[in-house]
A and B are shown apart, each in its own frame.
Chain A
Amino acid sequence: MSLLQKLDAARDFQDQLGQLGVNAIGATIDVTGSATEGKIEGKRVILAGTNNYLGLTFDPACIEAAAQAVRTHGTGTTGSRLANGTYAGHAALERELSVFLGTRSAIAFTTGYVANVGAISTLAGPGDVIMLDADSHASIYEGAKLSGAEIYRFRHNDPADLDKRLRRLGDRCARTLVIVESLYSMLGDVAPLDQFCEVVKRHGAFLLLDDAHSFGIMGETGRGLAEALGIEDEIDFVTGTFSKSLGSVGGFFASRKHDVAPLRSQIRAYMFTASSTPSVIASTRAALKRVAQGQALRSQLWRNCQRVHEGLTSLGFKLGAAPSPVIASLMDSPQQAAAAWQVLLDAGVYVNLVVPPGAPKNLSLLRCSLSAAHTDEQVEQIIEGYAAVAQRLFDQPRAAATAYG
């Protein structure tokens, strides 16, 4: 068997996707001047599949901060944080994150993926146990694998199943890291985090929350699901990303309960990769300020979510969860999902096409992600796009105007 067989298998997989007849995966998007509009294959579209929850990629203050930083500090740091890559901005961002989150310390990473891989693989090691939600993000699985710990999965969003599995571990719970997310990125469903906290505490295990998707958009001040539930002090460790609500790129690892700062000299994914460029750090810091005072943005976002959720429900779509910035429509097959994706694109609406094996439970989804920056007109147009899908694919088409009017 040749090494190159993997290339053949990958090509077969690409061909399989190609047979869906759409160029949905890795479509080139031309974005100019707006968080919510772009061009795909020369056609103007509303971007409704971007995770740009607060629309901060084009926030004037964030852009100005980045532009100034690139002029003053250059295009890159050309080094890792432990060598020449820690600038004043990196340290300031970490301080500001700690203050914002109320954590003892915070470590910034080059991406959220790297934050998870680094934090998880360093917190747990051989002899320890990692218990993860079955629908965890790839970076969580990757960090767990790299740690050398024993790994167990529990059923997605199921505290009773976690309880049962922790019980089986007995005294090994003291060496166990349980990992959950907040808002799950594919179906838009939210973890029963308070129940998870209770179970983890009762068994004497530790909880790491990957707050990639609720950071910035939930809680009174945007500190995420744990703030909304009033249980931030119960959570041992938090990781997150700058690539969703903060509109830049990077990730973090922080804790209210434990001082994570000493791990800087242990986390290989922190020590042996270049630090973020100064412009990224500058726009992230500006975005963090916007998030902290972002009540109006959050209200707008949740209004948009509510309207699209209502609109799609009355059009007859089966949705993945209650209203949230991720609204997933469950389709019958990858082929149907691909056809629907194309109808939406033709109607000027870009969403994410999610098909097996990329989707949880082998589902085929149209994943719409909403932004505070979507205007009322854009929200209407998104719903109209789905109305066109309903008309083409469902037995009982309904007029969009009456469905959500």
Chain B
Amino acid sequence: MISYDECVSEIQTLLAQSHAGGSIVPPESDLIDELGLASLDVMELIEALEDRFDVAFPINELGDVRTIADLAKRIQTLT
């Protein structure tokens, strides 16, 4: 199982490339309300994480994910 920190850092890196204008945002950041991701962007982020960690993330759980920390915790349990 990968560490929570590793997972957060991977998400932060992906977001820095796509949405945060290169900067690293804190784990409590709300993906939609604060970072302004559209639901399609969240899906794409998750697809990238699935490939990075070779896990499968069910879309039923999309609604439970609000922050980077939420996502990292859930991805971590899937590995």
A residues with a Cβ closer than 8 A to B are 134, 145, 150-153, 155, 165, 168-169, 361-362
Contacts and interface: CB of A to CB of B under 8 A. Distances in A.
Interface string B49-65: 00000111111100000
Contacts of A362: 40
A165 B60 contact: no
A125 B57 CA distance: 18
Nearest to A170: B56
B43 interface: yes
B54 A151 contact: no
Contacts of A165: 56
Interface residues of B, number: 10
A361 B60 CA distance: 20
A365 to B, nearest CB: 16
B54 A150 contact: no
Given A145-B60, A151-B60, A152-B57, 15 more contacts: A134-B43, A150-B58, A150-B60, A151-B58, A151-B59, A152-B58, A152-B59, A153-B43, A165-B56, A168-B54, A168-B55, A168-B56, A169-B56, A361-B40, A362-B40
Contacts of A155: 47
Nearest to A141: B59
B12 to A, nearest CB: 24
A280 B55 CA distance: 47
A395 B40 CA distance: 32
Nearest to A168: B56
A153 to B, nearest CB: 6
A152 B55 CA distance: 11
A150 to B, nearest CB: 4
Contacts of A145: 60
A152 to B, nearest CB: 6
Q: Which 9 pairs between the two chains have the least Cβ-Cβ distance?
A: A150-B58, A168-B56, A151-B59, A151-B60, A152-B56, A151-B58, A152-B58, A153-B59, A165-B56
Nearest to A131: B56
A155 B40 CA distance: 13
A154 to B, nearest CB: 9
A116 to B, nearest CB: 17
A150 B59 CA distance: 8
Contacts of A134: 43
